Amino acid sequence: MAKEQISRRTFLKSTSAVVTAAALAGNFTQPRPAAAQASGRLRFGVQTPPQHVPYSQVQDVWLEADELGYDSAFGFDHFLPIFSDPAGPCLEGWTLLAALAAQTKRLKTGLLVTGNTYRNPALLAKMAATVDHVSGGRLILGMGAGWFKLEHEAFGIPFYTPGGRARRLVESVELIKMLFTQEKTTYAGKYYQVKDAPFEPKPLQKPYPPILIGGMGPKVVQPLVARHADIWHFFVRQGGAAAAKKIAVKFDAICKEVGRDPAEIQKSTSLNAEQLKQSPDAIRAAVQAYADAGVQYFIVSMYPDYDMASFRRFAKEVMPAFRPA
């Protein structure tokens, strides 16, 4: 796997001509989901990449996360295993998500994140609305530009330039939001087009499920996040909380440039396996430092074989310190 590929991962009721033109110009605004409202509470999720593990093992983690008090659980959207033997088993993300959403009761559920290149955005919108109904209104719609070149080549999926993938993501987010909120939608983008497209049923969450966008690109992806996302997931490759603070400050400036209150967007990052092996005191200190830097959502990354001891210890000895007694 090329070094460049890995770095991308570690770091996105009227349909009148006037409304459509405004949307394409970036001036079409819609009500924000309830999840977008500023909140001082930290949130904690878990991510279970469904690679090199049987379905039952993923299922067990999600059901236990539901009982332990995690706020959310995420899969991923890949057709081949990442950072490991690509010839190994890997379950498809959205069908797995529907199955797990049907079995959990409380968790917000989603993928961290959906690869935009894999599906037409109108199809993705239908899938997302369906999972929102299956879950009883608990979907978080995670979206990103796509990065894993190998699976594109293996399955005959076009792999565009970084800029081309980012620009397609912009159109997808715009189109999906319109489908979620309009009786019929006409959209004439460069990459995606629909005409008088009906869309029923709408998602249960109104006006639409929270949109999480993962990615770090400062020219296209971060401005897209600033305009449309409710959660921004980013990675801190080195530098810890100090680096996260610099990233957050720059992102807040982008939000202000596009006329968005930065407080409406929850900043999210992942905690890796090495961080989770530290003592509870050290983990709590790290979470607090990142929270002071502006991070509000923490995703516990679990790679096979899932470290259940660290997963349980985090829920019982770290999360309660950041929640009201």
Structural domain count, the chain: 1
Adjacent-strand bridge partners of 90: 51
Task: Say which DSSP state 272 is in.
Answer: -
pLDDT on residue 239: 92
The pLDDT assigned to 29 comes to: 43
Q: Write the CB contacts of 210 (distance below 8 Å, at least 6 apart in sequence).
A: 33, 35, 36, 108, 140, 141, 230, 231
Mean pLDDT within 265-269:
98
pLDDT > 80? residue 78: yes
Q: What CATH number does residue 191 fall under? A: 3.20.20.30
* Segment 248-275 mean pLDDT: 96
Is the pLDDT at 197 greater than 50? The verdict is yes
- State what percent of residues in the chain have pLDDT above 70: 88
Mean predicted confidence (pLDDT) in 44-71: 98
pLDDT at residue 24, rounded to an integer: 36
Per residue in 283-303, pLDDT (tens digit) is 999 999 999 999 999 999 998
In this structure, of 13-27, 78-92, 205-219, 234-248, the range with the lowest mean pLDDT score is 13-27
Long-range contacts of 280-289 (CB under 8 A, 24+ apart): 280/313, 280/317, 280/318, 283/314, 283/318, 284/318, 284/321, 284/322, 286/240, 286/241, 287/42, 287/318, 287/322, 288/322, 289/240, 289/241
Q: Which residue has the higher pLDDT, 213 or 19?
A: 213
For 4-30, what is the mean pLDDT? Answer: 35
What is the tens place of the pLDDT at every residue in 97-132? 999 999 999 999 999 999 999 999 999 999 999 999
pLDDT digits (tens, 9 = 90+) for 3-14: 333 333 333 333
* pLDDT tens digit sequence for 143-192: 999 999 999 999 999 999 999 999 999 999 999 999 999 999 999 999 99
What single letter denotes the amino acid at residue 84? S
Count of C-beta atoms within a 10 Å radius of residue 219: 9
- What pLDDT is recorded for position 324? 86
Q: Summarize the confidence of residues 241-258 as an average pLDDT.
A: 97
Number of C-beta neighbours around residue 132 at 10 A? 24
Find, among 145, 110, 134, 139, the residue nearest to 9 by Cα: 145
What is the reported pLDDT for 4?
Answer: 33
Q: Is 324 exposed, middle or buried (0-12, 13-18, 19+ CB in 10 A)?
A: exposed
pLDDT at 229 over 60: yes
Q: Which domain holds residue 101?
A: 3-322
Q: How far is residue 90 from each of residues 34, 50, 51, 52, 79, measured CA to CA in Å?
A: 34, 6, 4, 6, 6
Q: What is the pLDDT confidence band of residue 237, given thresholds at 50, 70 and 90?
A: confident
State residue 27's pLDDT score. Answer: 38
Reference 116, options 88, 87, 94; nearest CA is 94
The confidence score (pLDDT) of residue 325 equals 74
Cα angle for residues 103, 98, 157 (degrees, 5° grid)? 155
Model confidence at 270, pLDDT cuts 50, 70, 90, reads very high
Is pTM beyond 0.75? Reply is yes
Average the pLDDT over 25-44 and give the result. 55
